[in-house]
Structure 1
Amino acid sequence: MTDKWKNQGEGDKESARKYNEKTEAFAKSGKVEAAAKDAKEALSSDEREELLKAEKAGKSHAKH
């Protein structure tokens, strides 16, 4: 088995590291305000119901 597919078990550190790096890069990119504005506009559009349905579906999988 190659390192690329190595099972890290619960709490995958490699995926967490990649997520953290990409999140930090986005936060520093200067694109946050524009993304927030787009999201706000989407919630005020015909997309609203679809977005709320997707949010509810995502939350149903969350651990409490």
Structure 2
Amino acid sequence: ADRQYRQGVQDHVQHHDVQGDARRARDAVDGPEGKELRRAEEEGKRHSKGEDPQLDKKGS
């Protein structure tokens, strides 16, 4: 699963305008739909179970 994920990320970065995507996302957050995007982010956070506890383990 990890290998598939990494390959997918690498493929996306190589074949998409990542800088352009980031610029459009920033413009959306700063623009008229920003309020709605922030509200959606907060809603998603309410449903989150938090960080994976495995991330806190040292020396794994």
Q: Return the TM-score normalized by structure 1.
A: 0.59
Which structure is higher in helix share?
2
Deviation, structure 1 residue 24: 2.7
Counterpart CA distance in 2 for 1:22 and 1:57 is 27
Measure, in 2, the Cα distance between the counterparts of 1:34 and 1:46: 19
Unaligned runs of 5+ in 1: 1-12
Structure 2 equivalent of residue 23 of structure 1: 9
Q: CA RMSD in A?
A: 1.9
Identity fraction in percent: 29
Runs ≥4 residues deviating over 6 A: none
Corresponding residue number in structure 2 for 1:63: 49
The TM-score normalised by the length of structure 2 is: 0.62
Give the number of equivalent residue pairs.
49
Q: Which has the higher contact order (CA 8 A, sep 6+)?
A: 2
Provide structure 2 residue ranges, at least 5 long, that are not aligned to the other structure.
51-60
